Structure 1
Amino acid sequence: MTTPDPQSPSPQPPVPASKDRAYRSPAGIAGGVLLLALALWLGIDAVVAGEGRTPWTAAAALLFLVPLIAAYTVRPAVFAGDDRMRVRNPFRVIVLPWGQVESFRSAYSNEVFSEAGDKYQLWALPVSLRGRKKAARQESRRAAGGGRGRGGLLGGGRGAGSGGAVDGAPVRAEADKVMDELRELWETRKDAETSRGEVAVRWAWEVVVPVVVGAVGLAVLLGTG
């Protein structure tokens, strides 16, 4: 049996892989939860208390609506890691290594383009024109030095002068700030050896199948009623 050499350094524990950053829409999730609660409340009541074909129609409607609502509100997310980004949209999941990303675009929606020219919308990062206008107003006040305006309605002094941009960075809407973070991570990691690979796209069959089955069932029940 060999004995460890006291002069040799002790083995270092492996460095854990960095955790992916997750981005979601809090407003979308909140709205989705409320819609799901309402749909389940009405649907289950119809299934339990309905007569004739009503329970079957309500069950088919639930099978169609619940995954559809969840797909557009609760499901969307963007996961950004050191090597790739994963976009979870309502009906598809797209995995893009940073080396395959060509650019990002923010207009009326936030989108990512692959080197092959394919465009993928980031459903988890909806553009808020209202948020952009609010950020632009705050930035103009900050650039003007936090002036008081008439009667002090715009605030003033140090508080207004630093409003939301203590480090001197421009005030940005939340979705635009997330896009800035994604661009920065892409610029940093796009040339890394581990950021190479192919774009992978798969359908979210766990959403598509119940929606299609529910829609067909609903159409049959309503058409033969």
Structure 2
Amino acid sequence: MCGRYALTSKPDEVLDFTGVAALDDFPARFNIAPTQPILVVMQAERSDPGSNLPDRRAFLARWGFIPGWAKDPKDLSLMINARSESAIGKPSFRAAMRHRRILVPASGFYEWRRQEKSGEEKSQPYWIRPKNGALIAFGGLMETYASADGSEIDTAAILTTGANRALSRIHDRMPVVIGQEDFTRWLDCRLQEPREVKDLMKAVDDDFFEAIPVSDRVNKVSNMGAELQLPAEDVAPLPAIRQKSKPDDSQLSLF
């Protein structure tokens, strides 16, 4: 899953990376949590087909998806993630998957590994970031929810997939990362149906991320400083990555 992440790059770096037409200034955020406003990028309709300006727009949405058909959001569980394996057909996400796919710029995310220490089960947080330090974009879904009083709010969820072998040592799920070369195809809901972008909703390679153990200060939403990403001391190393099983040469094969 993805329950906390960070966006610490400068606005001009995010603008260049996402290719949006314009982007307001914003501060570095080291501990972005559910229900908070998050920066998302969506395909925009061209007002002038002959213009050379980018056709992507950036805006803020509430991290916590509310389906358009919901009568009272209070009756729903908080939907911060959407499982990529079922999002195409699930009623909550089906329309957004078809019409409102988004990108969520990020510098990395946090995940917690459950472990037993001194007879007590605890969770060790990890700061997970690209090894090359580059910006990334999570695949996401957006829905504008209209309440009974006529007010509207943009809401969003981050898509997840099964973790790769490296991160499965921490958690069995991870965010879907859309490569920059696939931004256009992912965002083009007019020409690209969900089944045509299904191949993008997969785990990144095992060596894409590095996982750094950090202190449990990240557990508190009120803690928002850069110190959250400092390596923690005296943390047991992660288990070795399981090697892929090899066929048993002692057994005969028909293939």
What range is the shorter-chain TM-score in?
Answer: under 0.3
Q: Which has the higher strand share?
A: 2
Q: Which has the higher helix share?
A: 1
- Higher relative CO (CA 8 A, sep ≥ 6), structure 1 or 2? 1
TM (norm. structure 1) is 0.22
TM (norm. structure 2) is 0.20
Q: Which has the larger radius of gyration?
A: 1
